[in-house]
């Protein structure tokens, strides 16, 4: 008798192959996750974002101001997507996250330039995410000077010599020191909630199925909505505990400012917790085993981390990735958290991020109710 039997190794190996073939979900995950990662990391994520949306207020409308704006756009760092009429409108755009920059060219810019009075242009940058804004912030002075060089020839040739004829004033909003934690910590709460809340309810129904207690539950006169509310409610409290822990850490360990109202934050957190619990409940109603439910949770978590603007600038991603991102609850929660904590945005400013979360909640809740079966069929 041999000590090491290849026959027994083969027996185990064959059994594993058979079982792997039966467990379609796991097999799909093993293939699906790498493909998803390849696509997300390869095509969607961009840590050096270009073409960030900007609001342009050109109050000069001269040859020179147009040269400056063309130069700014040609740099590919920013695209002038908005042309607000008033400063208030421009402020709203940046606070709501519609644009990452405001570029203001004052009146008489061209005249003052021609007179050699060294006029100023203003670049206001949303610095909540330092990595997103740094490209434009660091190079705008040079871009403007380069853009004017061709115009400053002939009689104005002297101005083209150093020092630069224009002063680019840069205002870094919300996170002037460019501290990464300011951006990461509020967003991290979104990832923590997405991971734990979805996971905990994802196993809620499948655990009953696996333990055989589901049959007993289904034999009882309980309605699907009662079951759903009863199943998710306890975890809302857990979600609040997580939130408090993160907020205390944010305040004392990372000294992140809290510019907005706690009430708005509370509303955002509550909505987001419920959305994630419902997603978990939905997974639970379609998965057969706890393992499957957890795999689905993981499968959703990956884009929530990568496409939500948590780690990488949302506006730096290609269009298609932004569309996917818009469908993810984490994306809207990131905006809400950064809006409230860093920008001091109020509920009205943040409506654009509140309503998608509400819509996702309704859709997922309805799907869960449709999928939840009151029979064993």
Interacting residues with other proteins (CB under 8 A):
211-216, 218-223, 374-377
CB of 208 to other proteins, least distance (A): 9
Q: State in angstroms the smallest separation of the CB of 173 from other proteins.
A: 52
State in angstroms the smallest separation of the CB of 278 from other proteins. 22
Nearer to other proteins, 224 or 344 (CB): 224
Least distance (Å) from other proteins to the CB of residue 214?
Answer: 8
- Least gap, CB of 24 to other proteins (angstroms): 17
Tokens 């002037």 sit at which residue?
176
Give whichever of 118 and 213 is closer to other proteins, judged by the CB atom.
213
Crossing angle between the packed helical segments 24-39 and 6-22, to the nearest 10 degrees = 80
Specify the residue, 1 or 377, whose C-beta has the smaller distance to other proteins.
377
The helix/strand/coil state of 150 is coil
Query: From the CB of 21, what's the least distance to other proteins, in Å?
Result: 20
Question: What is the DSSP secondary-structure string of 223-287?
Answer: -HHHHHHHHHHHHHHHHHHHHHHHHHIIIIIS-----S-HHHHHHHHHHHHHHHHHHHHHHHHH-
Question: Smaller CB distance to other proteins: residue 163 or 212?
Answer: 212
Distance CA 353, CA 332 (A): 5
CB of 213 to other proteins, least distance (A): 5
Tokens of residue 19, six digits: 């079982």
Q: Which is nearer to other proteins, 30 or 222 (CB)?
A: 222
Nearer to other proteins, 59 or 223 (CB): 223
CB of 69 within 8 A of CB of 101?
Answer: no
- For residues 146, 150, 152, 153, the Cα torsion angle rounded to the nearest 10 degrees is 140
Instruction: For residues 72 and 78, give the distance between their C-alpha atoms in angstroms, rounded to a whole number.
Output: 7
Q: Which is nearer to other proteins, 1 or 219 (CB)?
A: 219
The CA distance from 369 to 373, in Å, is 8
Which residues fall within 8 angstroms of residue 340, CB to CB, at 6 or more apart? Answer: 258, 259, 260, 261, 264, 265, 268, 350
Helix (H) or strand (E) holding 56: strand 52-58
């Amino acid at each position: 008798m041999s000590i090491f039997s290849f026959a027994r190794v083969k027996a185990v190996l064959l059994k594993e192959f058979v079982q792997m073939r039966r467990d379609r979900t796991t097999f799909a995950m093993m293939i699906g996750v790498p493909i998803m990662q390849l696509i997300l990391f390869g095509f969607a994520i961009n840590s050096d974002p270009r073409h960030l949306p900007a609001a342009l207020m050109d109050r000069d409308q001269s040859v020179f101001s147009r040269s400056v704006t063309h130069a700014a756009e040609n740099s590919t760092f920013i695209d002038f997507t908005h042309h607000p009429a008033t400063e208030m409108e421009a402020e709203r755009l940046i606070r709501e996250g519609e644009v990452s920059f405001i570029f203001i060219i004052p009146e008489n810019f061209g005249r003052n330039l021609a007179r050699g009075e060294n006029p100023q242009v203003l670049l206001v940058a949303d610095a909540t995410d330092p990595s997103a804004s740094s490209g434009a912030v660091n190079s705008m002075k040079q871009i403007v000077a380069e853009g004017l060089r061709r115009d400053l020839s002939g009689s104005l040739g002297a101005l083209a010599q150093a020092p630069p004829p224009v002063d680019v004033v840069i205002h870094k909003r919300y996170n002037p020191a460019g501290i990464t934690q300011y951006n990461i910590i509020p967003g991290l709460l979104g990832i923590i909630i997405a991971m734990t809340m979805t996971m905990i309810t994802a196993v809620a129904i499948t655990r009953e199925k696996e333990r055989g207690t589901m049959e007993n539950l289904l034999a009882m006169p309980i309605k699907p909505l009662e079951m759903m509310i009863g199943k998710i409610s306890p975890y809302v409290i857990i979600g609040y505990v997580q939130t408090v822990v993160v907020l205390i850490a944010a305040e004392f360990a990372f000294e992140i400012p809290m510019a907005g109202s706690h009430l708005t934050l509370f509303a955002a957190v509550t909505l987001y917790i419920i959305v994630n619990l419902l997603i978990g409940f939905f997974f639970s109603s379609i998965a057969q085993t706890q393992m499957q439910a957890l795999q689905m949770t993981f499968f959703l978590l990956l884009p929530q981390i990568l496409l939500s603007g948590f780690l990488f600038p949302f506006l730096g991603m290609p269009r298609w990735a932004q569309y996917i991102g818009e469908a993810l609850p984490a994306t809207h929660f990131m905006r809400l958290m950064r809006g409230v904590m860093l920008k001091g945005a109020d509920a009205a400013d943040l409506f654009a991020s509140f309503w998608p979360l509400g819509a996702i909640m309704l859709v997922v809740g309805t799907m869960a109710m449709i999928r939840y079966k009151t029979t064993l069929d």
